[in-house]
Amino acid sequence: MIMRGLQFRVGIAIVFVGTSIPALAVPLSFGPGHIYTTQYFSTDINEHSADGRLLTTVRIQGLERGEETKGIAFSPAGKLYVVLDRLYSGARLVAVDRDGAITESYALPVPTGGNLSLGKLDFADGGTAFVGTDAGIVRVRIGEPDSAQLLGPQTEGAFDLTVLPSGNLLMISGYALDEIDSSGNLVRRIALSDPNRVSAASSFFVNDLRGVEYDPFTDRVFVSMLGNSDNLFFVTMAFDFATGILLDIGNFTYGDDMLFSGDTLLLGSRTETPWILSPVDLSILGRLDGWERMFLTRNVVAAVAEPGTLALMAASMLLMLPLLGSRSRITRTRAQT
């Protein structure tokens, strides 16, 4: 009886302690292949495993009053960057660390407000960032805090953009898909069409375009569209880059930001949990755990060992050399006998 009472009191103490100590925030891991998402009117970053499991949520620290998240992307150097917007009063591009602390900040000359879908970004190999705004594409040279520059009028209404292997930009506005050079000059307008009747539309017409990605392996362009025309509500489409001819189509409600990553195509949404799609036929491979998230990226930068780790590996190899030498001598002796 005394022991039973003691067990009861110990159990109550454990429950009390367990509910009174807040859970510790788990930092971002930046694991290779992991997926990271943001949402408009939000201040946090979600981290997901490669197969979509929600791993942690980190709130961005050091926000200015009224700042909320927009686009998100990794730089070629492996740093995570987020676009922060204060509606019509300004915006900036920031780098964040594992705990969500801001480590770099670049003021943008124009806000990314005006539409929820604005504020996406991509990086060129040299480390230059490009951010889509209603006024046009903003170019930022990483490492130069005052370098943000609005490109020409040809880039107005940039809902999304992606850097092509040539160094040019593929930019999507509400009704057009354009190839732009890195200075903002129009190279060509890609006329999107469906001569082979891949879609169910009797009269193919694109509008309310929102997201764009490019697959250099198949020379295909992926486009997401909200749309309000004939049988083209909430569609994501694959086009031939050279001709603009429709190759494939799928329906995804409020599909928006996209990221092509090898054998997968990620698709964010205003109202649904993001999809992991096959770039071959737009079939669904999986979904991200959690709730709706519009902007997304993936850590595709190869993991590099820390200097300390490399030193330990080198020391281990030095220690192993005498042993490897003795084993080699033993092997030769056995072979001779």
pLDDT digits 0-9 by tens, 40-62: 999 999 999 999 999 999 999 99
The span from the CA of 311 to the CA of 104, in Å, is: 29
The CATH topology of domain 20-311 is Neuraminidase (2.120.10)
pLDDT > 90? residue 324: no
Residue 193: how many CB atoms within 10 A of its CB? 14
- φ, ψ of residue 209 in degrees (nearest 5): -70, 145
Q: Report which of residues 188 and 331 the model is more confident about.
A: 188
pLDDT digits 0-9 by tens, 90-145: 999 999 999 999 999 999 999 998 899 999 999 999 899 999 999 999 999 999 99
pLDDT digits 0-9 by tens, 1-32: 444 444 434 343 333 334 334 345 799 999 99
pLDDT > 50? residue 320: no
Q: Report which of residues 10 and 38 the model is more confident about.
A: 38
- Start-to-end CA distance of the chain, whole Å, equals 76
Q: pLDDT-derived band of residue 305, with 50, 70 and 90 as boundaries?
A: very low
Check residue 114 and give its pLDDT: 85
pLDDT > 80? residue 310: no
For the whole model, what pTM was predicted?
Answer: 0.83
Check residue 24 and give its pLDDT: 58
The span from the CA of 42 to the CA of 34, in Å, is: 20
Flag the least confident range among 113-117, 272-276, 301-305: 301-305
Beta strands in 120-254 (DSSP E): 121-123, 128-132, 137-141, 149-150, 160-163, 169-172, 177-180, 186-190, 209-215, 220-225, 235-240, 246-251
pLDDT > 50? residue 153: yes
Domain spans in the chain, listed from the N-terminal domain onward: 20-311
